[in-house]
Structure 1
Amino acid sequence: MGRRSVEFNASPRPTLGVEWEMVLVDRASRDLAPRAAEVMGAVEREPSATGPRVTKELLRNTLEVVTGVCGTVGEAVGDISETVSAIRRVTDPLGLELVSAGTHPFARWDEQLVTPDARYAELLERTQWWGRQMLIWGVHVHVGVSSVHKVLPILNSLLNHYPHLQALSASSPYWTGFDTGYASNRAQMFQQLPTAGLPFQFGSWGEFEDYVDDMFVTGVIDGLSDVRWDIRPSPKFGTIEVRVCDGTPTLRELRAVTALIHCLVVHLDARLEAGEELPTLPPWHVQENKWRAARYGLDAEIIVDARGRERLVTDDLDEWLDRLEPVARQLDCAGDLALVAEVPRRGASYQRQRATFEAACARGEASPLHHVVDSLVAELREP
């Protein structure tokens, strides 16, 4: 029996798809509410030309809003906004609020109900304590790639930009009521699952196929979706899927990180087309950058080249925003990309959450983390 092949359904254009995970919160208690099936059922009954795109996730408190295949960031965010409006028509009368962040500030993982599904049951049976702790949420961005031969070079080079995306989106400083000291505790949690975390840097599609074949033969995976890398090929859709980002609490931040990812993939694709060899970092530098961004967020000093040169992540990001401006104009997302610079000025979500907590403590509030939840609820209602 020969090696298992993996067909990549190449995308002729760099199309976009976005998956935005959010959770249901009880308006009175501010705790998570396991009512996703009820909400999804009501949303699906709403009359609509295409139907809102909402899918289930591992936990009954979670909704995933999924776009169709989009051409621009504006189209993707417009698609998502329509779906969120449809969800709110259901949740508002039920006393439920929506939040998107990497973690909930005080919810307990051991009290959450799991969505009935054979795949989820198998995951939890295998992963046990770590699987039950996956009380985390993120944003996944797909970008179409025109050739299977470009996928891994682009993916490997995208790892250079991992810390920028992690730092910008970091929104999970709290875990079961405690400040973890991390900007993104989600990044550290998710990599505990088998096949999750950083991808291997394969040199060819054939090497990736060898890996997939080994994983099937040894029973590690039952399907490609079980490869849960932070950045992974998505052969079915003909995309690279970037899963680095924590849940973004605002639509503006969602627009910003989506535009940055779109521009980076298209920029790297163009350099390949021009015959360049894309820059990469040794795996140990990539791993260190992931940890630094998860720990320190926008204050991280990151490794920017294979020689070990270091730089503040925000300084490097500013330079990349200038470099990507022509690509953003080409992709009709210059305004969206410009929103990236707002995040350090306003403060990333982990910084805003801590500031809200400290202000509530200074006022002598009895439950300061409730105020953090209230701030996340309010931010998701921002235009």
Structure 2
Amino acid sequence: MEPKFNGPAYTVGIEEELMILDSSSYALVNRIDDLVEDSPHGEIKPELMESVLEISTRPAADLREAAEQLRGLRRQVRDKAAEHELAIGSAGTHPFAKWEDQRITAAPRYRDLVDELRFVARQEVIFGLHVHVGVDDPDKAIHVANGMRVHVPILLALSANSPFWRGDATGLASTRMPIFRAFPRVGIPPYYADWSDYERRIGFMVDAGVMEDYTWLWYDVRPHPNFGTVEIRAMDGQTHVEHTLGLAALIQAMVKELSEHFEAGKRLADFPYEMLDENKWLASRHGLEGELVDLPERRTVPAKDLARRLYDRLKEHAQDLGGADALEGVLDLIERGDEAHRQRKVYEANRDFTELLRDIVGASAP
């Protein structure tokens, strides 16, 4: 495994998994082949299901450049979909789709995945947001990934956007989280001492034949040596592009803070794994409407208060990185509620999933 953590630091890449919908019924449809095309803004590519489309920006120097690319990609797939009487929506789950109706993409990696995981892979009709941030040293990348583990719950709470599943209100803010939890090698990642420790332990798994390479690790945070980034994978897909960009700006600022922590020779606090995982569950259950344990304290605080504290603390880092404007998307989530809250509000008016999806499609447009 050859690490490519050679800079520049703090570049940003954003990946969004989007729903392909019939433009009249808003049902999820297996039409990825109609939508894949070249793009001047980044990549448009298939995912595991033929009803899922992924857009990926190229590495951007700052959030302004990333925002331009992401809006361009959303605009392009929206317009291409309209040509085929389709629509594009963004959320953590489709409110009434069933996995039994989805086809697996005809790509060797995905066929291998289904062959290995069976039902666990087939039922994964979920839509996530992944953010990559460039790091310029392999040991620093491990330090950042270790430090990001404590932030996973608040990132999930901020991004919670999947309160419905298979035509039912689940009572969760992020239903996507427990669905994906059925996969192996997911969730809060292990703590690694340094790059050599990571390389040795991942090499053990590859040599044992349980996975092909490190990309078969689907942890909430992982170093990505081929890209020279730390990738954060914990979030639900966001309906409003401003919220995607706000979360990306917050994550970029977190990576900068942790990188400077490493460069100063400081050690990370040692939080119990089970407490990190419990906080993640609380975030999935309640989103921003609930409480999280305020580590290292042994008390709970409103998730919105914790998010506000992080926003205030990291605002200067975001300013230094050119992401202050994008970071305002996080403030909107704090002040007006996560998107799961917004979905419930729209649905409760008439208890009409078609109306909810029409709203999601409209709000997903850049």
TM-score range, shorter chain: over 0.9
- Counterpart CA distance in 1 for 2:268 and 2:81 is 46
Provide the secondary structure at the position in 2 that maps to 1:243.
Answer: strand
1:333 to 323, 332, 336: 323
- Which residue of structure 1 aligns with residue 235 of structure 2? 245
RMSD across aligned C-alpha pairs, in angstroms? 1.5
1:96 to 70, 82, 86: 86
2:166 to 173, 176, 184: 176
Confirm or deny: 8 A CA contact 2:41 2:69 kept in the other structure. Answer: no
After superposition, the C-alpha distances for 1:246-282 in whole angstroms (9 at most, x for unaligned) are 0010111111101110111011111222232233422
- Name the TM-score, length of structure 1 as normaliser: 0.92
Moved more, 221-230 or 299-308: 299-308
1:194 to 184, 199, 202: 184
Provide the secondary structure at the position in 2 that maps to 1:58.
Answer: coil
1:376 to 340, 343, 360: 360
Confirm or deny: 8 A CA contact 2:161 2:174 kept in the other structure. Answer: yes
After superposition, the C-alpha distances for 1:173-224 in whole angstroms (9 at most, x for unaligned) are 1111011111101111112111122211112222212221221122211122
Distance verdict in 2 for CA 1:303–1:280, change over 3 Å: farther
- Counterpart CA distance in 2 for 1:345 and 1:305 is 23
Distance verdict in 2 for CA 1:259–1:289, change over 3 Å: same
1:7 to 3, 15, 38: 3
- Counterpart CA distance in 2 for 1:77 and 1:37 is 26
Confirm or deny: 8 A CA contact 2:91 2:161 kept in the other structure. Answer: yes
**Structure 2: runs of 5 or more not aligned:** none
- Counterpart CA distance in 1 for 2:270 and 2:179 is 25
Letter in 2 for 1:189: I
**Count of matched residue positions in the alignment of Structure 1 and Structure 2:** 366
Moved more, 240-249 or 268-277: 268-277
- Which residue of structure 1 aligns with residue 340 of structure 2? 350
Moved more, 54-63 or 10-19: 10-19
Moved more, 277-286 or 116-125: 277-286
Confirm or deny: 8 A CA contact 1:10 1:239 kept in the other structure. Answer: no
- Counterpart CA distance in 1 for 2:146 and 2:87 is 38
Letter in 2 for 1:262: Q
Confirm or deny: 8 A CA contact 1:58 1:114 kept in the other structure. Answer: yes
After superposition, the C-alpha distances for 1:105-129 in whole angstroms (9 at most, x for unaligned) are 0001111011101111111111111
- Counterpart CA distance in 1 for 2:177 and 2:41 is 32
Confirm or deny: 8 A CA contact 1:250 1:379 kept in the other structure. Answer: yes
Q: Does 1:281 align with 2:271?
A: yes
Map 1:1-383 → 2, pairs under 5 A: 5-40=1-36, 43-44=37-38, 50=40, 52-361=42-351, 368-381=352-365, 383=366
Letter in 1 for 2:12: L
Provide the secondary structure at the position in 2 that maps to 1:97.
Answer: strand
- Name the TM-score, length of structure 2 as normaliser: 0.96
- Counterpart CA distance in 2 for 1:281 and 1:309 is 14
Provide the secondary structure at the position in 2 that maps to 1:64.
Answer: strand
Structure exhibiting the larger radius of gyration computed from Cα positions: 1
Confirm or deny: 8 A CA contact 1:280 1:305 kept in the other structure. Answer: no
Q: CA deviation at 1:338?
A: 2.3
- Counterpart CA distance in 2 for 1:328 and 1:52 is 24
Provide the secondary structure at the position in 1 that maps to 2:35.
Answer: helix
